[in-house]
Structure 1
Amino acid sequence: MPRTLILGSTSAYRRELLDRLRLPFDVVAPGVDETPQAGERPESLARRLALAKARAVAARHPHAVVIGSDQVADLDGEPLGKPGDHMRATAQLRRMRGRTVVFQTALSVVCLDAGFEQSDLAPVRVRFRDLGDAEIESYLRLEQPYDCAGSAKSEGLGIALLESINSDDPTALIGLPLIRTCRLLRAAGLQVP
């Protein structure tokens, strides 16, 4: 009997990306505390949270193949998460203007009853333009990216804020690295496509 696939995430962006694979899947909120630990590096935070999300959902659905993912913007080793509001988003974008930020997108796939657990990390180097305050304000007013790590919604108007994007997994910046997801799902025994 084929295993159920579950996306352990409440992110609409990840759901839309996983839909591209045309696999049936369920969505379950992982309910994981995303607070960084003291001194935790961005890539370590992203990896820890992706695995914690997958494990939390797998504990409730041990026969399913569960995907967990997390993204943290890395500004010179400092983690920048979801801003949550206009004021924090403004501060994030002001700090990132004219600089390169690495968006660390971590992925974990877990199936408890098969004893399967693998993780991967898809870093994306993003160079921001030297943005003026009026550009930042206009972008935030139009896009309201308060639920996106680093306030940069590249699949929308946020693309106009950028000079370049460097990645070997282009969907990683949106929140779920599909090349790596396919690889891990195959390793877990699912047929893709």
Structure 2
Amino acid sequence: MKENQKIVIIDYGAGNIQSIKFAIKRLGFEAILSSDAEQIRQADKVIFPGVGEAGSAMKMLRSTGLDELIPKLEQPVLGICLGMQLMCTHSEEGNTTGLGIFDADVKRFDNSVKVPQIGWNQITNLNSHLFDNVKNGEYVYLVHSYYVPECADEIARTEYGVNYSTALHRDNFYGVQFHPEKSSKTGEQILENFLKLDLRN
């Protein structure tokens, strides 16, 4: 893991940025917040956060051209919560067209469960270096009303009324529905694993 690697958190007005920055600092690294295309392109790692509503978040991405930039990035990219959902093809939230990185549609939980899902839940069926040193069945923190049904890009699963894909991976792109920055030691390990990924060597 490069000790001086450049970590950029995409800043597009969609929440939870400072808590991610602090979580990275606890691991001994500095992250910068940026919406500048060149800074994002030059980063060793990119984190794509998101809290809020899918339609308005996509409008913010389009207004800055980030909707064109993000799918073309070649370094490891981690989408968190809404960030992961926006990396999918489509979301039922606001009938929103996403970035199309993951071939999956985002659905709303039905009324058989309490919506939103708020709190700790288990991740299982772990299948990625993103989960090195993370035990199957560990608990992570989630806050969401929409989910990604099980799909080919799934690398972790959670059950809440239905089994759904709580983490995704395709090429250099990763996504987690949960908040690693709020998921105690497990989340810290997952963030550290992401920072260890090196796809360009």
TM range (shorter): 0.3 to 0.5
Larger radius of gyration, structure 1 or 2? 1
TM-score by length of 2: 0.32
TM-score by length of 1: 0.33
Identify, as 1 or 2, the structure richer in strand.
2
